[in-house]
Chains A and B, each alone.
Chain A
Amino acid sequence: MTRLLFEKTGKAVWISHLDLMRLFQRAFQRAGLPLTHTHGFNPRPSVSIALPMSVGVESGCELLDFALDGAAVPCEEIRDRLNAALVSGVRILRVYEDGQKLKNLAWLDCCLTLEYDHGVPPEAAGRLRALFSRPSLPVQKKSKNGVTEQDIIPLLKRVELEQAEENTLTLLARVRCQNPALNPMQLLAAVDRYQPELSPDFCRCRRVEVYDENGNVFR
């Protein structure tokens, strides 16, 4: 199994997780890099993305595992050939011959950009800092089994707030990304629920980096 690190930006952020897998399968084929196939009645090329991502989320730290069929190809060559066969917005940053076990993937740094069309409300950064310092912060979570309450505090390691521009506030957070995972957009849900007057007009989300349990960069 080989692993690659890619980013997803621009128009490509609107591609869903399933569609992105198909997009990669086709890109490998266009690049002349045949993938091994799964066994079974309906064989599929084997690619898997470590952390499925919601539509609309940007990322600079996506990991995809794959297995090539046939002779080994140097990592840089795989990267370059794939990049020539990919749509704009999906770009391979690096290819690794091997990778850590996915079960050791634990934390994700993400950045929410809160956009306020009429300027960031006064004291917003401080009030949000206080919000995320509460001992518990339950928000609603939609799942297959209906709506449940999820306390986000145990799944949050760190929250930093910074006013970048007059109209935007950036919120950097380290959230648990496996067992269980916290969808970073739940931070926005907490704002909407507990500080509705600080709800932004729009919020963008970007995944920045992934870590293991000890806070070392995960690859």
Chain B
Amino acid sequence: MTDRKQRLLPAVQKPARYTGGEWGEVQKNKDEIHIRVAFCFPDTYEIGMSNLGMRILYGVMNNQPDVWCERVFAPWGDMEAALRREALPLWALESQDPVKDFDMIAFTIGYEMAYSNVLNMLDLAGVPLHASERTGLKNIVFAGGVCTFNPEPLADFVDFFSLGEGEESTVEILDVYRRAKAEDWTKEWFLREVAKVPGVYVPSLYTPVYEPDGRLKEIIRVEGAPEIVTKRIVENLDEAYFPTKMLVPSTEIVHDRANLELFRGCIRGCRFCQAGFSCRPVRRKSPEVLYRQATELLEHSGNNEITLSSLSTSDYKDLRELTDALIPYCEAHKFSMSVPSLRADNFSRELMERVQAVRKSGLTFAPEAGTQRLRDVINKNLQEEEILSTCAIAFAGGWSHVKLYFMLGLPTETDEDVLGIAELVYKIIQLWKENGVNRKRGLSIRLATAYFVPKPHTPFQWEQQITPQEYLRRCKLLKEHLYSKCVEYDYHSPDLSRLEAVFARGDRRLGPVIEEAVRSGARLDGWDEYFRYDLWQEAFAKCGVDPNFYTVRGYGEEELLPWDMMDVGVSKAFLLRERRRAYESRVTPDCRHGCAGCGANCLLKEAGCDD
């Protein structure tokens, strides 16, 4: 007879995402395993399997002979309904065993709006949500990923956080757990010990105290708990573990190709960008190592496409050397190569012409702001000239699609800046008229604006978010000034970005709000078909939490910030300095044109930044 789990599969969409059994999946003999880790990604299989960080840590954990790390993803709504109807607990893909049977439950969280999925997955697994309700060594829940640079909103639910890159720290964490299990420690003892691993933050060792007006007053530490938790980095990426024997999904995922990371960090300091600051300093892989890894990836996986990924690929020092070697290899094997996040510089233009996959996707620019003044405020070093000359060349070369990304609500933004976007679009249309060769197909410009979300560990971490009404007014203003039919402008509703802003700079008082929202049905918030703003609004009201406190209020420079204890390497003094320069419209050169003294070099022991 077919078991109950299998019986759910015919009725759900894309059942292969719940079965495991893919090429490169790790199977182990349970009898030889001391630590079983359920590695949860708080979004669907298609998104999670596209995440390089998860693939790396999956390999790191499974490289330990007595550890078996398995994957778990958030089920789609139809599967969730089936699980609840049949009272079946969420299972891990490899063994198909229930998550609640695992020793450790790990999450990687890259997006605030996945918080509801974290709780919902624990709930579907039948694991108590609150860390305090899980009393033993079983079901220790820990989390990593960029969101943990301000982990406070999840402090009630997660036993500990692992800050920064996990290649080394995860092994150290597993060592502590191994000892704990062998010596039968209490959970409290384990948490005290794991807090000694650099980069680990155990929220239960800290208690926040608030002022009557709601601001954070102080954080009381248990004796012995670290005062500051500094994120971990891998210093030498050439020697770091990288999974060239990649797991190849049997069903299509979002990024269904081999993915090679050229370097970590970013030399640019766009002042709104959390990744730009929190992933510092720049560390790169050598082109020899990259070439070897690329060929291994393609040969082991059977993929016929590879992406060279990084925060800003054009800034990879040896891009020419690498692509000179890789392009002929790919051509010989009929592989295609894609290079996202290219800047509008000369070499990138040349590369665009040589790389077929880029051609297909069209031109993408993220000027973020409409005027040079505002681009200087945000330190986005992209000149109008570069955009226009790249467009001119591309139009002459037969391209006809342009995507443009902007933000609305940036600090100091005025209507003039908003209208600057329309002007830039107009100039691009003029250029098309002069240079476009592919007249029949016509020009198509896709314009998108995002509602600016101030993020922790950036020079804008103190800023006010504009109100949703004001955001919509600016969207409409812009829309009224776009006259051409070839421009497609979609602006998203501000609801999601408002919540993202709340949680990005949130504190522990948001825990009950998340729990309440999830209890009333919030999950898969990143998906339009499931996002329910009303549930969140009700949850805030019920818990007596005012979202405006975290968004339009803004934070004082003297105020103790919920994430002040987390050190990403960049000093607060530097962020303040950058904030001042922003208000003076003064740009700060990128790391390659001079060190701005952010402090992140202190994370490196052997080399300097970007060596």
Residues of the B chain whose Cβ atoms lie less than 8 Å from the Cβ of A89:
21
CB nearest to B9 among chain A residues:
A14
Give a binary string over A96-123; 1 marks a CB under 8 Å from any B CB, 0 the rest: 0000000000000000000101000000
B354 within 8 A of A: no
With contacts A11-B21, A167-B1 taken as known, whether A37 is within 8 angstroms of B334 at the C-beta atoms is: yes
Q: Tell me if B251 and A56 are in contact (CB < 8 A).
A: no
The docked-state distance in angstroms from the alpha carbon of A4 to that of B20 is 25
CB nearest to A26 among chain B residues:
B302
Per the 8 Å Cβ criterion, residues 18-38 of A in contact with B are 18-19, 22-23, 25-30, 34, 37
With contacts A10-B21, A12-B250, A87-B23 taken as known, whether A30 is within 8 angstroms of B299 at the C-beta atoms is: yes
CB < 8 Å neighbour of B16 from A15, A34, A45, A167: A15
Give the bracket for the number of chain B residues in contact with chain A. 20 to 34
B497 within 8 A of A: no
The docked-state distance in angstroms from the alpha carbon of A10 to that of B22 is 12
Q: Tell me if B23 and A168 are in contact (CB < 8 A).
A: no
The docked-state distance in angstroms from the alpha carbon of A10 to that of B20 is 11
Q: Tell me if A14 and B15 are in contact (CB < 8 A).
A: yes
B301 within 8 A of A: yes
Q: Tell me if B302 and A27 are in contact (CB < 8 A).
A: yes
Q: Tell me if B300 and A30 are in contact (CB < 8 A).
A: yes
The docked-state distance in angstroms from the alpha carbon of A115 to that of B3 is 11
CB nearest to A89 among chain B residues:
B21
Q: Tell me if B7 and A11 are in contact (CB < 8 A).
A: no
Q: Tell me if A19 and B334 are in contact (CB < 8 A).
A: no
Residues of the B chain whose Cβ atoms lie less than 8 Å from the Cβ of A87:
21-23, 250
The docked-state distance in angstroms from the alpha carbon of A182 to that of B20 is 30
Per the 8 Å Cβ criterion, residues 10-64 of B in contact with A are 10, 14-16, 18-23
A158 to chain B, nearest CB (A): 25
Q: Tell me if A15 and B251 are in contact (CB < 8 A).
A: yes
Q: Tell me if B15 and A26 are in contact (CB < 8 A).
A: no
With contacts A37-B334, A87-B21, A87-B22 taken as known, whether A26 is within 8 angstroms of B248 at the C-beta atoms is: yes
Q: Tell me if B251 and A26 are in contact (CB < 8 A).
A: no
Give the bracket for the number of chain A residues in contact with chain B. 20 to 34
Per the 8 Å Cβ criterion, residues 403-461 of B in contact with A are none
A75 to chain B, nearest CB (A): 21
CB nearest to A43 among chain B residues:
B334
B484 to chain A, nearest CB (A): 28
CB < 8 Å neighbour of A19 from B2, B16, B18, B21: B16
Per the 8 Å Cβ criterion, residues 296-311 of B in contact with A are 299-304
CB nearest to A54 among chain B residues:
B10
- Mostly, the A contact residues are mixed
Most buried by B among A10, A12, A30: A30
CB < 8 Å neighbour of B301 from A12, A15, A26: A26
B538 within 8 A of A: no
Residues of the A chain whose Cβ atoms lie less than 8 Å from the Cβ of B20:
11
Q: Tell me if B251 and A168 are in contact (CB < 8 A).
A: no
B386 within 8 A of A: no
With contacts A10-B21, A202-B2 taken as known, whether A29 is within 8 angstroms of B302 at the C-beta atoms is: yes
A2 within 8 A of B: no
A127 within 8 A of B: no
A141 within 8 A of B: no
Give a binary string over A197-212; 1 marks a CB under 8 Å from any B CB, 0 the rest: 0000110100000000
The docked-state distance in angstroms from the alpha carbon of A89 to that of B16 is 13
Give a binary string over B277-318; 1 marks a CB under 8 Å from any A CB, 0 the rest: 000000000000000000000011111100000000000000
B245 to chain A, nearest CB (A): 11
A16 within 8 A of B: yes
The docked-state distance in angstroms from the alpha carbon of A55 to that of B19 is 13
B546 within 8 A of A: no
B321 within 8 A of A: no
A195 within 8 A of B: no
CB < 8 Å neighbour of A202 from B7, B15, B299: B7
A84 to chain B, nearest CB (A): 11
B87 to chain A, nearest CB (A): 16
A88 within 8 A of B: yes
The docked-state distance in angstroms from the alpha carbon of A201 to that of B302 is 40
Q: Tell me if A56 and B334 are in contact (CB < 8 A).
A: no
A85 within 8 A of B: yes
B184 within 8 A of A: no
B252 within 8 A of A: yes
Residues of the A chain whose Cβ atoms lie less than 8 Å from the Cβ of B2:
115, 202, 204
Residues of the B chain whose Cβ atoms lie less than 8 Å from the Cβ of A26:
23, 248, 301-304
Q: Tell me if B21 and A88 are in contact (CB < 8 A).
A: yes
With contacts A29-B304, A30-B302 taken as known, whether A19 is within 8 angstroms of B250 at the C-beta atoms is: yes
Per the 8 Å Cβ criterion, residues 233-261 of B in contact with A are 248, 250-252
Per the 8 Å Cβ criterion, residues 126-176 of A in contact with B are 167-168
Q: Tell me if A55 and B15 are in contact (CB < 8 A).
A: yes
B540 to chain A, nearest CB (A): 40
A44 to chain B, nearest CB (A): 9
A29 to chain B, nearest CB (A): 4
B86 to chain A, nearest CB (A): 12
With contacts A14-B9, A56-B9 taken as known, whether A25 is within 8 angstroms of B304 at the C-beta atoms is: yes
Q: Tell me if A22 and B252 are in contact (CB < 8 A).
A: yes
A27 to chain B, nearest CB (A): 6
Q: Tell me if A19 and B251 are in contact (CB < 8 A).
A: yes
The docked-state distance in angstroms from the alpha carbon of A16 to that of B16 is 8
B389 to chain A, nearest CB (A): 28
Q: Tell me if A85 and B1 are in contact (CB < 8 A).
A: no
Q: Tell me if A115 and B1 are in contact (CB < 8 A).
A: yes
Residues of the B chain whose Cβ atoms lie less than 8 Å from the Cβ of A29:
302-304
Q: Tell me if B15 and A56 are in contact (CB < 8 A).
A: yes
A192 to chain B, nearest CB (A): 14
With contacts A37-B334, A115-B2 taken as known, whether A14 is within 8 angstroms of B300 at the C-beta atoms is: no
Residues of the B chain whose Cβ atoms lie less than 8 Å from the Cβ of A19:
16, 250-252
Q: Tell me if B1 and A15 are in contact (CB < 8 A).
A: no
Residues of the A chain whose Cβ atoms lie less than 8 Å from the Cβ of B9:
14, 56
Give a binary string over A57-92; 1 marks a CB under 8 Å from any B CB, 0 the rest: 000000000000000000000000000011111000
B308 to chain A, nearest CB (A): 20
Q: Which 6 A-B pairs have the closest CB atoms?
A: A26-B302, A11-B21, A30-B302, A29-B302, A14-B15, A11-B19
Taking A25-B302, A30-B300, A55-B16 as known contacts, 5 extra A-B pairs with beta carbons closer than 8 A to each other, sorted by chain A number, are A16-B251, A25-B304, A28-B302, A37-B334, A87-B250
**Chain B interface residues toward A at CB < 8 A:** 1-2, 7, 9-10, 14-16, 18-23, 248, 250-252, 299-304, 333-334
Sampled A-B contacts (19; CB under 8 Å): A11-B21, A14-B9, A14-B16, A14-B18, A16-B251, A19-B16, A19-B251, A19-B252, A25-B302, A25-B304, A26-B23, A26-B302, A28-B302, A37-B334, A45-B304, A55-B10, A85-B302, A167-B1, A202-B7
